[in-house]
Amino acid sequence: MKVLITGGCGFLGSNLAASYLKEGAQVVVVDALFRKGSAANLAWLESQAAKGRFHFIQADLADAEAVLAVFRRHAPFDYICHVGGQAGLTESPFIPFPQG
Ligand SMILES: NC(=O)c1ccc[n+]([C@@H]2O[C@H](COP(=O)([O-])OP(=O)(O)OC[C@H]3O[C@@H](n4cnc5c(N)ncnc54)[C@H](O)[C@@H]3O)[C@@H](O)[C@H]2O)c1
């Protein structure tokens, strides 16, 4: 079984990835490491994975070429879990949030 997880270094994604790795799946994670703590989650996942069963690609999902490159290199997938994204608007570096 081969699974692609976007945001695989976040809260939901890293737990999903660890669970699939435990089941013996091959796991491909795409994450920009935007979130504080996601690099630590990546290190944790790498420590869980058997050699050759975990692939990490640091890329922004808004970068269509980078996402296409992931599919060219790693597809087909049995499952795609899309949990990459901003969990809270207030933390977005792109949206000016009204103060006060
Ligand atoms: N945690 C929950 O209970 C919950 C509930 C409902 C919905 N959601 C949604 O599910 C998604 C994941 O939630 P989470 O709690 O795991 O958040 P999280 O912040 O822990 O993880 C999100 C991951 O996505 C990555 N990311 C963000 N923008 C990216 C981009 N443009 N390209 C590549 N990677 C990117 C971050 O680096 C991070 O590792 C969010 O969209 C959130 O709104 C979460």
- CATH homologous superfamily of 2-85 equals NAD(P)-binding Rossmann-like Domain (3.40.50.720)
| 7: DSSP letter | T
Residue nearest to atom 42 of ligand 1 (CA): 87
With beta carbons less than 8 A apart as the criterion, state whether 42 and 33 touch. yes
Question: How many whole angstroms from 33 Cα to the centroid of ligand 1?
Answer: 10
pLDDT range class, residue 84, cuts 50, 70, 90: very high
What digits encode the pLDDT tens for the residues 21-77?
Answer: 999 999 999 999 998 899 999 999 999 898 899 999 999 999 999 999 999 999 999
- 44 in helix, strand or coil? helix
Q: Which amino acid is at 86?
A: Q
Domain ranges of the chain: 2-85
